[in-house]
Amino acid sequence: MIHKISIVIPVFRGQESLIRLVSEINVLTKIQKTTLGYDYKVNELILVHDCGPDDSYKTIIELEQTYLYIRPIWLSRNFGQHAATLAGMASATGDWVLTIDEDGQHNPEEVSKLLDTAVLNNLQLVYATPLNPPPHGFLRNYFSKIAKKIVCVIIGNSLPMRFNSFRLVEGEIARNLAAYCGTGVYLDIGLLWITANIGQTPISLRNEYRPKGNYSYAKLISHFWKMILTIGTRPLRFITLIGICSALLGVVAACLAIYGKINGYVQVQGWTSLLIAITFFSGVILASLGLIAEYLAVTLSISMGKPLYVVTSHPTGILDHK
């Protein structure tokens, strides 16, 4: 059996890195053998143009004309990495779908390790686990770990610590997820909804083929918030717990104040304690309302039919690219 692999690359700013990356993938279009002896080959490379600031579309057109196995997908505007990845998954035809970044830090040859892990252990989804820190700088890597740990605590599961854009997904799983996944859904959370057997494989990350990454800290915070909103209703339960604890704290504080006043231990006067209580509970209420409003906004976007992405027949702003 030859395992056919579809590679999906969301392209936002890949003008400087795509040609070199595709040259590495080109070798894998011929039948290869993994360490455990499984035959595989890349049968298609799907480049999803996510309307970045550079001329990536020109590079994609050039590559499409050079390699027959390359299939471009043109999005009508920038929808984000996860939406672009799902757009590629929806069009993939392989037995497996490999998702990698455009910047070159993921070595396409490492797919053999992920495939060995998936087939040997009968897994539906395999994440690459970096042996070395991603080439993004200390602060970004640190806050990324913190964000994943927060999500792990909220959902009571350690799986989010494995989340990585270098992943191998069973073809049926990838296509089914792309078929129903709505706007505002975090891709890896969506994968957790429909997969039972998930594994990981250690790999080494490379330096990027370009000098600077795509994501600002504002985008990363937005990315993290989307993950929080799509993990289910646990954050709302957490707010309920905070509300109950706050109410109990208020009752205890009131009882202590009354007891102290009756027995002459304390002199209850002034506005300090009242101001502190109002500030604390007002903050809790506003934070709770804000999170509830975010959930309602996500629900509204889904009910209004806001599309996750829109595919066009040509690059945005270019009427004829042939």
**H, E, C per residue of 145-195:** HHHHHHHHHHHCCCHHHHCCCCEEEEHHHHHHHHHHCCCCCCHHHHHHHHC
Helix (H, G, I), strand (E, B) or coil at 290: helix
145 and 39 both lie in a single domain: yes
- Average pLDDT over every residue of 82-108: 94
107 and 183 both lie in a single domain: yes
**Does residue 123 form part of some domain?**
yes
172 and 252 both lie in a single domain: no
- Average pLDDT over every residue of 245-268: 69
pLDDT at 292: 75
Percentage, residues of the chain above pLDDT 70: 68
What does pTM read for this prediction?
A: 0.75
**CA dist 106 → 51, 129, 213, 313 (Å):** 22, 11, 14, 29
- Average pLDDT over every residue of 313-318: 77
The mean pLDDT of the chain is 81
Tell me which residue has tokens 């506005």: 271
pLDDT digits (tens, 9 = 90+) for 260-315: 767 766 555 555 567 667 767 777 776 777 677 666 766 766 665 566 778 888 88
32 and 113 both lie in a single domain: yes
Which CATH number covers residue 13? 3.90.550.10
Distance, in Å, from the CA atom of 42 to the CA atom of 218, rounded to the nearest integer, reads 35
Distance, in Å, from the CA atom of 181 to the CA atom of 187, rounded to the nearest integer, reads 8
Question: Do 313 and 91 meet the contact criterion of CB atoms below 8 Å apart?
Answer: no
Tell me which residue has tokens 């509970």: 281
211 and 253 both lie in a single domain: no
Which segment of 40-54, 56-70, 163-177, 271-285 scores lowest on mean pLDDT?
Answer: 271-285
For residue 45, give every residue at least 6 positions away whose Cβ sits within 8 Å of its Cβ, in sequence order, or none.
6, 7, 9, 22, 25, 67, 69, 70, 71
pLDDT at 182: 73
159: tokens are 């799986």
Distance, in Å, from the CA atom of 232 to the CA atom of 33, rounded to the nearest integer, reads 41
Q: What is the DSSP string of 54-102?
A: S-HHHHHHHHHHH-TTEEEEEESS---HHHHHHHHHHH--SSEEEE--T
**Does residue 319 form part of some domain?**
no
294 and 163 both lie in a single domain: no
The domain in which residue 183 lies consists of 2-230+308-312
- Average pLDDT over every residue of 152-163: 67
101: tokens are 């970044």
211 and 249 both lie in a single domain: no
41 and 175 both lie in a single domain: yes
- Average pLDDT over every residue of 138-167: 70
pLDDT at 174: 95
pLDDT digits (tens, 9 = 90+) for 187-224: 888 888 889 899 999 999 888 876 555 556 566 666 66
Task: Work out the burial of residue 33: count CB atoms within 10 Å of its CB; fewer than 13 is exposed, 13-18 middle, 19 or more buried.
Answer: exposed
Percentage, residues of the chain above pLDDT 90: 42
**Does residue 321 form part of some domain?**
no
Task: Please determine, for residue 33, whether its predicted confidence score (pLDDT) is greater than 70.
Answer: yes
C-alpha 124 chain-centroid distance = 18
Amino acid at 296: L
**Does residue 322 form part of some domain?**
no
Task: Please determine, for residue 232, whether its predicted confidence score (pLDDT) is greater than 70.
Answer: no
Q: Read off the pLDDT band of 322 (50, 70, 90).
A: very low
**Does residue 317 form part of some domain?**
no
pLDDT at 212: 58
Task: Please determine, for residue 101, whether its predicted confidence score (pLDDT) is greater than 60.
Answer: yes
176 and 297 both lie in a single domain: no
Question: Do 11 and 80 meet the contact criterion of CB atoms below 8 Å apart?
Answer: no
pLDDT digits (tens, 9 = 90+) for 13-29: 899 899 999 999 999 99
Distance, in Å, from the CA atom of 160 to the CA atom of 257, rounded to the nearest integer, reads 44
Euclidean distance between the first and the last CA atom of the chain, given in angstroms as a whole number: 37
**Does residue 320 form part of some domain?**
no
**Does residue 318 form part of some domain?**
no
Distance, in Å, from the CA atom of 322 to the CA atom of 309, rounded to the nearest integer, reads 23
Distance, in Å, from the CA atom of 50 to the CA atom of 52, rounded to the nearest integer, reads 6
**Does residue 89 form part of some domain?**
yes
175 and 244 both lie in a single domain: no
Task: Please determine, for residue 239, whether its predicted confidence score (pLDDT) is greater than 90.
Answer: no
Question: Do 227 and 148 meet the contact criterion of CB atoms below 8 Å apart?
Answer: no
157 and 293 both lie in a single domain: no
133 and 201 both lie in a single domain: yes
Q: Give the number of domains in the chain.
A: 2
